Amino acid sequence: MSKTPDAFARLTDALKVLPNVGPKSAQRMAFHLLQHKRAEARELADALEHALKQVRHCRLCNTFTEHELCAVCADENRDPRRLMIVHMPADVAGMEAANCHDGLYFVLMGQVNPAQGIDLNGIALDRLTERLQNSDFDEIVIATNFTAEGYATAYVLAELLKPLPCKVSRLSRGIPLGGELEYVDAGTLAQAVYERRQVKD
């Protein structure tokens, strides 16, 4: 009969769910929170519980929001004819900071990564397909990372978008090979959008 993990072991195991956090890092975090940051740990627990109850996916673009529609989708001043597809909400924040896209977004919430067991089921292709139904976009911009996973995701998207009667483009290669949009400076990001290349008519 297996022993039930004690409270510290349970906390350590829970922290391992975070990206790039292994057993030793999780153990150090647990020690730090319990020894030096108990008040902050309570705030973290409360904030996480609140977020789990309140945060949902935007009905249109799939990003995180506390309402049916996120602020971008609810903004009537956005260009409804241009859609940009990105990996994560942080990519939307980067694009908005660069002030280089006045259209709408769709957030995949991940990318194709066979090495980590993330296949097509790991990204929101079903929700994207639903979003594209009865849509009237003039252009769809594929704004995935310039990494192996980003290229794989872009290929999947390009194949999915082929039947649509609109222009499909991809960010230019001004972003460094291996670069992730979240970490690219605003100027480079804006230039990559401005010089985007056409994938299909």
Question: Tens digit of pLDDT for each residue in 104-142?
Answer: 999 999 888 765 555 667 788 999 999 998 788 999 999
CA gap 136, 119 in Å, rounded: 29
CATH of the domain at 32: 1.10.8.420
Buried b (16+ CB within 10 A) or exposed e, 4-43: eeeeeeebbeebeeeeeeeeeebbebbeebeeeeeeebee
Examine residue 61 and state whether it is found in any structural domain, yes or no: yes
- Mean pLDDT on 164-181: 71
Q: Please tell me the pTM assigned to this model.
A: 0.80
Residue ranges making up the domain that contains 21: 7-54
Examine residue 1 and state whether it is found in any structural domain, yes or no: no
**C-alpha closest to that of 13 among 31, 34, 27, 32:** 27
